[in-house]
Amino acid sequence: MSDTPKKPARKKTPPKAETDTPKANAHAGADAQTNKVEDQQMRETVLAAVLPHAAFDGFTDSVLQKAGTQAGVAKAELARLFENGPISLIEFYSGWADAEMEKRLATTDLKAMKIRERIGCAVKTRLAILKPQKEAARRAAALLSLPMHAALGAKLLYRTVDAMWRAAGDTSTDFNFYTKRGILAGVYGSTAMRWFNDTSSDEKPTEEFLAARIENVMQFEKFKAKAKDALSNFPAFADWAKPKK
């Protein structure tokens, strides 16, 4: 009998699970995309059901539940779609309005306009999107103005004005990127507040208010440019203003 140890039997490699194949991964990706689209559609359906009620009762848990029932969305699904309840719904509402604004501006010949006209068009377009449910939009803004929701309100305002500047063709990446958005936040925020209180049929007062705010910004930009040119003539200031190496 041989003393040579027998080689251990080679273990058979188990077949790869179907989820590891490119085909399975493609199916998984398609399913995830389908679920995402379905979730978006359900959120939009709930939002459409909420807005008429919110105009009278505000954005509350009871209004959200009522709208969910009308939209045929189960409570468990409603809780998943809007994790933080009404405040999540308002965040979705703002994002939806931004997306609609971008769609409309994409079909507008903004390149043929001056920069002030582009910004004015963006602001008026977003307000036009909110107009059919103006009172609901006012109640949403009022809720975001509360101290407990101020951070979210600021974040949503930034997203809106960022979308406006991008639609207007802004490609800045330096400090101007932030100053432009900060200035437009003031213009849009104050104009929206003026619009919420505008009861005129043609809303001309709001448009005049917006034009005046944009003119103020343009005058400030001209002053800033002149001041920069004037101060650049002073060597000491010019040297001080140079970035440090």
pLDDT tens-digit series, residues 166-223: 999 998 888 888 888 999 999 999 999 999 998 887 888 999 999 999 988 777 555 4
Amino acid 4: pLDDT:
43
- The answer as to whether 16 is a domain residue is no
- The answer as to whether 214 is a domain residue is yes
Identify the residue with better confidence: 12 or 194: 194
Amino acid 226: pLDDT:
53
What are the angstrom distances between the C-alpha of 38 and each of 69, 102, 137, 148, 210?
17, 22, 25, 31, 38
| 169 and 114 fall within a common domain | yes
Structurally, how many domains does the chain consist of? Answer: 2
What are the angstrom distances between the C-alpha of 163 and each of 37, 89, 90?
22, 20, 18
Q: Give the CATH number of the domain where residue 171 resides.
A: 1.10.357.10
Amino acid 2: pLDDT:
42
pLDDT-derived band at 8 (thresholds 50, 70, 90) equals very low
| 77 and 108 fall within a common domain | no
| 42 and 104 fall within a common domain | no
| 77 and 95 fall within a common domain | no
| 137 and 217 fall within a common domain | yes
| 172 and 63 fall within a common domain | no
The answer on pLDDT for 158 being more than 70 is yes
pLDDT tens-digit series, residues 21-77: 666 566 566 677 788 899 999 999 999 999 999 999 999 999 999 999 999 999 999
| Domain enclosing residue 54, as ranges | 31-83
Distance CA 112, CA 43 (A): 36
